[in-house]
Structure 1
Amino acid sequence: MSVWLPTAPCTPRRCAPPPPPGAAAGRTRAALRLAAGLLAVLAGVALSPLAVPLRPAGRHVLVRLWCRTVLRAFGLRVRVIGTPPPGPHLVVANHISWLDVPLVAAVLPGRTVAKREVRHWPVLGPLAALGGTLFLDRDRLRTLPALVRDMARALAAGSRVVVFPEGSTWCGRAQGRFRPAAFQAALDAGAPVQPVRITYRPLGPAAFVGDDPLTASLWRIATARRLTAEVRLLAPVSAGRHPDRRALARAAQAAVAGRTPVAPHTAVDSDSANHPFPSVHQCRNSSPAPASSAATPA
C-alpha cells in the first residue's frame, strides 16, 4: 500500500457493530433481499450490451433505472433532496459505502472515477469499463495528471464526471479531507462543481470500512431494518470563483460537511432546512482502509 494513499480511522468492529436483538430483519427476508439484489446486478450485466448503441441520454435513463432497481432489491430506501442541474458538472460526494456508487448513479449518472483494481473485478469490472469509468492506478502517482486530463476532456465534451475525493470510505460520523487533484479538471474545463451529501440511517449497516469483506457488508445491508439513504444535491460551486484547485476543494468540502449556508439546489422534497453533516467521529483506531474504498485519492 502506498504511503500517500488516504486512510480513515474507521473499522467494522467500531463503526458497524452487529445490531441489537430484534433490530435486524429475519434471516429469510435477508436471504431474499440478497438474492434479489444479486439477480438485479446480473440482469444489468446481461442487458448492458443493449445500451451500447444508445445516445448518452438514453444510457443515463437505463443506468438510473438499473441502479434504483438494485438498491431497492437490497432493501434500501432512497430519498433525494434537490434536482440535478443541467449540463456537465464535476460531481463530488462524501464516501461511506460501496452503495454510494449506484446511489449517485441513480440520481446523477456519469463517468465515475474508480481505482484500477475495479477493472479486473468479475462481472462488475467489464460493466464499469463499458460505462466509461475512468480508472486510476493508485500505486503510481505519476498517472494522476493523465487522469485529470481525461476528466477535463470528458467535462469539456459535455459529460458528467463523478468522484469521491476523500479517496477512502468513512463510516459517516465524519468525513476525510477532499483531495484537490480532481478539482483541477473542473478548473481546466470551466465546469461547475456539484457537491452531494450522502447520509444513511441507521448509520452503521451501510458503512464499508477498514478491512471489511464485501460478503460481510452485503449481509449486513440485507439484514438491516428500514435502511434509508439520503442524497442531498447542494448548490453548485462555480470553479471560476476560486483561485486554484485547493480552494475549490475546500469550498466543496465545506458545503458537503454543512459548514457553509448552502441551500439544496431547487429542492423538490419536503424536508427540514439544510442540516449539518455529523462531525463527531466515534472511532479511535488508525488502521488503514485499503480494501473497501472504490474511489481514488485524486
Structure 2
Amino acid sequence: MSHGDVVVRRCATHPWMPVSPCGDHCLAPDAGEARVGVPRRAFRLTVVAALMLVAVPTAVVYPLLGNRLGGRVSKLWFRSLLKAFGVRLVLRGDRRFAVSGQGALVVTNHCSWLDIVALGAVQPVRMLAKTDVRKWPLVGWFAAVAGTVFVDRERLSTLPVTVTELATVMRDGGVVGVFPEGTTWCGVESGRYRSAPFQAARDADAVVRPVALRYLVAGRFSAAPAFVGDSTLWDSVRRVSRMRGLTLEIEVLPELSARSGANRRDLAALAETAVATATWRGSDRGDRPEQSPVAA
C-alpha cells in the first residue's frame, strides 16, 4: 500500500496543522528483519531504565555544571542511551553543529523519538517540542530542565512568541534543534518544512545547519524505529529494543547562512532539499525504497 492509498486519521485543528500520512501500515510485522532474543531485550530495557534513574539526579544538578562539563555529561548520556538500545551511531560530515558560542538552528528529518537522542549525542541542543511533551511522565520534566522550547500547535496566535523565544536563545549563542516537518514520518517520504523557525534564525542572525538522519539495518533503510500511527511511546521503545543491527547515521551538512538575503521560505526550501538529497545519497548506504510498507 502506498501513502496515496492511506486515509489520514489525524485530525488537523487548523489548515496549517502538520499532518503525516504515515501510520501502522508503514510498520509491516512480517517483513523478516532480524530480532534479538527475549533475554537481550530484557537486558537492554534494564540498562535503559538504569540510565533514566541516573538522569534524575543529573538533571537536578545539570544547570550548575556549566556549559563545558554539562555538555560532556549530556553527550555521554545520550550516546549511552543509544548503545543501551543496541544502536550503532555513525557520524558523517562535521563533528559539531556549531562552534561554542555560535547561535545555530539545527533542522532535520523527523522519524522517531530516537532523533532527539541522536542530536543530543552530537552536541547539546535545545529542542523545539509540542506542549504535549511537557505532560509526558518524567520525559517532560527532563525536557523542561534541558531548556526545551515548547510550542502550542493548536494555537497559531502563540507562534510569534515562540519565534521570539527561539531567536533569543540563538542570539545568546544557543543551538536550537527543530523538526520543520512538524510531525513524524516513516522515512519513505518526508513532509514540507515549515518556515517559522527559519524566521527565528534570520532574526538572530544565526546559521542554519541541515542534518540528515538515516536508520539502516544491514545497510538498507528501515522504518521500524519510526514513531507513527497508533503506537504509544512504550510500543515504539519495545519495537526498537528488539531490533538487531540497527545503525543510525547522522550526516551534518554544510551550514546555510541566514544572512544570505534569502527569506524564511527560501531558507526552509534550501534546507529541505539539502536534507532530502543527503538522506538517500550513495548506494553503499542503502537504496531508497519503493513507497510501500517497510519492516518492523
**Normalised by the size of structure 2, how large is the TM-score?**
0.86
Q: Give the residue type in structure 2 aligned to 1:241.
A: S
Q: Tell whether 2:173 aligns with 1:158.
A: yes
Q: Tell whether 2:150 aligns with 1:135.
A: yes
1:7 to 12, 15, 19: 19
Greater helix percent: which structure? 2
Deviations 1:122-145 (A, max 9, x none): 111111111110001111111111
SS of 1:52 mapped into structure 2: helix
1:101 to 110, 116, 121: 116
Q: Give the residue type in structure 2 aligned to 1:240.
A: R
Q: Aligned pair in 2 of structure 1 residues 168, 237: CA closer, same or farther (>3 Å)?
A: same
Q: Show the counterpart of 2:187.
A: 172
| Distance (whole Å) between structure 1 residues aligned to residue 32 and residue 278 of structure 2 | 36
Unaligned runs of 5+ residues in structure 1 are 263-271, 284-298
CA RMSD between the two structures: 2.2
Q: Tell whether 2:285 aligns with 1:282.
A: no
Q: Show the counterpart of 1:48.
A: 59
| Distance (whole Å) between structure 2 residues aligned to residue 134 and residue 61 of structure 1 | 21
Q: Tell whether 2:236 aligns with 1:221.
A: no
Q: Give the residue type in structure 2 aligned to 1:122.
A: P
**Counterparts in 2 of 1:200-279, with a 5 A limit?**
200-202=215-217, 203-258=222-277, 278=288
2:212–2:278 contact (8 Å) kept in structure 1: no
Percent of residue pairs identical: 40
1:242–1:248 contact (8 Å) kept in structure 2: no
| Distance (whole Å) between structure 2 residues aligned to residue 206 and residue 122 of structure 1 | 21
Q: Show the counterpart of 1:58.
A: 69
Larger mean Cα displacement after TM superposition, 19-28 or 87-96? 19-28
Q: Aligned pair in 2 of structure 1 residues 155, 279: CA closer, same or farther (>3 Å)?
A: farther
Q: Aligned pair in 2 of structure 1 residues 174, 21: CA closer, same or farther (>3 Å)?
A: closer
CA deviation after TM superposition for structure 1 residue 256, in Å: 0.3
SS of 2:65 mapped into structure 1: coil
1:258–1:276 contact (8 Å) kept in structure 2: no
**Counterparts in 2 of 1:72-151, with a 5 A limit?**
72-82=83-93, 83-84=95-96, 85-86=98-99, 87-151=102-166
| Distance (whole Å) between structure 1 residues aligned to residue 284 and residue 126 of structure 2 | 28
Q: How many residues align?
A: 272
**Normalised by the size of structure 1, how large is the TM-score?**
0.85
Q: Give the residue type in structure 2 aligned to 1:153.
A: T
CA deviation after TM superposition for structure 1 residue 99, in Å: 0.5
1:70 to 50, 56, 81: 81
Deviations 1:236-280 (A, max 9, x none): 0111224310000000001001179x9xxxxxxxxx699799485
CA deviation after TM superposition for structure 1 residue 61, in Å: 1.3
Deviations 1:9-34 (A, max 9, x none): 1112x222225567211111112112
1:181 to 189, 196, 203: 196
Greater strand percent: which structure? 2
| Distance (whole Å) between structure 1 residues aligned to residue 290 and residue 213 of structure 2 | 16
Q: Aligned pair in 2 of structure 1 residues 167, 22: CA closer, same or farther (>3 Å)?
A: closer
| Distance (whole Å) between structure 2 residues aligned to residue 252 and residue 22 of structure 1 | 32
Unaligned runs of 5+ residues in structure 2 are 1-11
Q: Tell whether 2:47 aligns with 1:36.
A: yes
Deviations 1:191-227 (A, max 9, x none): 1100000000131221111221112211110110101
